[in-house]
Chains A and B, each alone.
Chain A
Amino acid sequence: MSSAPLDGMVAAAGLDERVALRTRLAARGLDGTTLFVLPALLAILALFVYPFLYGLALSFRPKAGGVLGNYAHFFSDPFLYDTIWTTLRLAMPVTILNLVLAVPIAMRVRLMRRQRLLTTILVLPVTLGTVLVAEGLLNYLGPQGWFNRTLIWAGLLSGPVKLTNNYWGVFASLLITGFPFTFLLTLSYVTGIDPALEQAGAVHGASARQRFTRIILPLILPGLAITFCLSFVQAFAVFPSAVLLGAPAGPTRVISIAAYQAAFEEYDYSLASAIAMVMGAVQLAIVAAVLGARGMLYRGPVGGTKG
């Protein structure tokens, strides 16, 4: 603090300006506390957004050919572009099957008082991850595994059926890791619906089927769309189980294998980035289509109509 009055006034004026700037910033929500968001934000910008953009730029600088050389190469080589179809052929049916199973089971489980045991068991494969599930299924679904033995013992099969190192092995692993994920998401949507809505439907004449199709389904459909997107994106990125449980040279040569091989076996990071971008684009296209359709649905509170 200065003792001279003039100095004091100047300091006060400077203070005023600082205060004014600070108030203006604070009015827009920017103050010291807001800065707390920066470290995390910068980390994600540097480790996620920048690499993505870098990869995108890199994909336009191919080892050979013009700007679009990598993409031209990808879409002219059946060994590469077929991976999109191969991956879709796995991811789509699994995601749809998971949803079709998850909805009726979630409808029943919401009536249970003790859901925790079931949800805990179901969270196991999500937690253990795809590598362990792949190793487990190699044992369990193998020609000498318990699954084949049980079916032969029950007289449903005459000899062991091949379920590993092909399409069905990967399908099974996506089912085992994908279903719990889909189910737990669906359950959280289904339990969010006020039970009084279903009671109101019943009292005013709706049968069990009508209550589902006219009340519950329209209310959970937006949530199911989100669930579909998240489950599909996970399934589309299938990698370790496609290598370990599938036939990575043929029927389960999924797009992530192609990207991995380009990067770490051919050391063509440019092509690998291009493949990763194609992978992202396909996921985005499906998600955008589903969310676009979702835009036409009712999306509001589902917990009754109060407030």
Chain B
Amino acid sequence: MIRDTGLGSRIWRIAVWAVTILFVLNLLAMIVSVVTNSFATRWLGTWLPVAYTTRWYFSAWEEFQLHDILIVTFQVVFTVVVVSGLLGVLAAYAMARRDFAGKRLAMLVFLLPLLVPPITYGIPLATVLYQLNLAGTFWGVVLANLVPTVPFVVLVMIPFIEQIDPRIEAAARVFGASTPQLFGRILFPLLLPGMLAAMLLVLVRTIAMFELTFLTAGPTSQTLVVALYYAVFAAGVRAGQSIDAMAVIYMVATLIWLVLALRFVNPTQIVARAKQQSAH
């Protein structure tokens, strides 16, 4: 808050900004280089490609069967969003409104999947799903993806529900609303903005969720990010531009929802939600 104008602080300030700008420039350059390459006819040993073309997008679409992959991706993602939205909001409502024995334990159970990285619990989870013959199927992928998303919705929605005055519900009861009416006419409209934000964030996170899908998906249940991984992994086989065209399609698929989500939430929420709960 106090703005210092001394020479030392000015040098310090310039240094801090220089590091920030350097970071952002490198980040943007990395993204732009992928996009540029995806439109390049040939790009070897020069600053910019010789000429530009869109043909890599058509070849990537064919080669990687992106049509099928995109359909699977959106089926998986939307199923995950709906199921985790439903389970998460219900649980968050109970957690926000009731003080029951074992609530702290329940909170811990919801926090752990957000704190433990997916690869750590993904391998035992995949093992269990293989034993149940669910691995490699659509539902196996969906189930694995619910592990981080259900707790995420719970933790995003708890503070949102807490800020809705419980007396509003009491008032609805007093004026004769039944439980379904209470939900349909009072709670749902009040919860909608928070639910929308939480579900959009789940959407973005699930499209980008590599590890869990990678460990549990079979050939017919691959999502876009896993297909991209395999393409990069076997990079020698296909033209780099083709892979980058796929990467751009993936970026667009993610960023559309990110842009939409950012209309409702603060960017910090995408990473910071788990922390606010665990800090106490």
Let me know if A184 and B127 touch, CB within 8 A: no
Q: How many A-B residue pairs have CB under 8 A?
A: 281
The SS class assigned to the B binding surface is helix
Chain A: CB-nearest residue to B258: A127
Does A74 belong to the interface (CB within 8 Å)?
A: no
Interface size class of A (residues with CB under 8 A): 35 or more
Q: How far is the CB of A302 from chain B (nearest CB, A)?
A: 11
Does A34 belong to the interface (CB within 8 Å)?
A: yes
Contact status of A54 and B151, CB under 8 A, knowing A127-B254, A136-B30, A283-B116: no
B residues in contact with A239, CB < 8 Å: 119, 210-211
Q: How far is the CB of A303 from chain B (nearest CB, A)?
A: 13
Report the Cα distance A30→B98, complex, angstroms.
Answer: 8
B residues in contact with A127, CB < 8 Å: 204, 208, 254-255, 258, 270
Task: Give the residues from 253 to 272 in chain A that come closer than 8 angstroms, CB to CB, to chain B.
Answer: 256, 259-260, 263-264, 269, 272
Does A306 belong to the interface (CB within 8 Å)?
A: no
Contact status of A185 and B109, CB under 8 A, knowing A36-B90, A48-B147: no
Stretch at the interface among A10-18, A65-73, A77-85, A174-182: A174-182
Chain A: CB-nearest residue to B129: A51
Contact status of A111 and B1, CB under 8 A, knowing A134-B232, A187-B268: yes
Let me know if B101 and A29 touch, CB within 8 A: yes
Let me know if B271 and A181 touch, CB within 8 A: yes
Let me know if A41 and B106 touch, CB within 8 A: yes
B residues in contact with A116, CB < 8 Å: 266-267
Does A237 belong to the interface (CB within 8 Å)?
A: yes
A residues in contact with B151, CB < 8 Å: 40, 44
10 residue pairs bridging A and B, Cβ less than 8 Å apart: A29-B98, A30-B98, A36-B94, A50-B128, A105-B20, A116-B266, A127-B204, A127-B270, A131-B229, A139-B33
The SS class assigned to the A binding surface is helix
Q: How far is the CB of B93 from chain A (nearest CB, A)?
A: 6
Let me know if A33 and B225 touch, CB within 8 A: no
Does A23 belong to the interface (CB within 8 Å)?
A: no
Report the Cα distance A166→B201, complex, angstroms.
Answer: 33
Please encode chain A, from 30 to 66, with 1 for each CB lying within 8 Å of some chain B CB and 0 for all others. Answer: 1101111111110111011111101110100000000
Let me know if B47 and A149 touch, CB within 8 A: yes
Contact status of A198 and B1, CB under 8 A, knowing A39-B90, A121-B27, A230-B115: yes
Contact status of A230 and B275, CB under 8 A, knowing A136-B30, A176-B27, A237-B120: yes
Contact status of A146 and B33, CB under 8 A, knowing A55-B127, A234-B117, A259-B123: yes
Contact status of A37 and B106, CB under 8 A, knowing A31-B98, A116-B267, A120-B262: yes
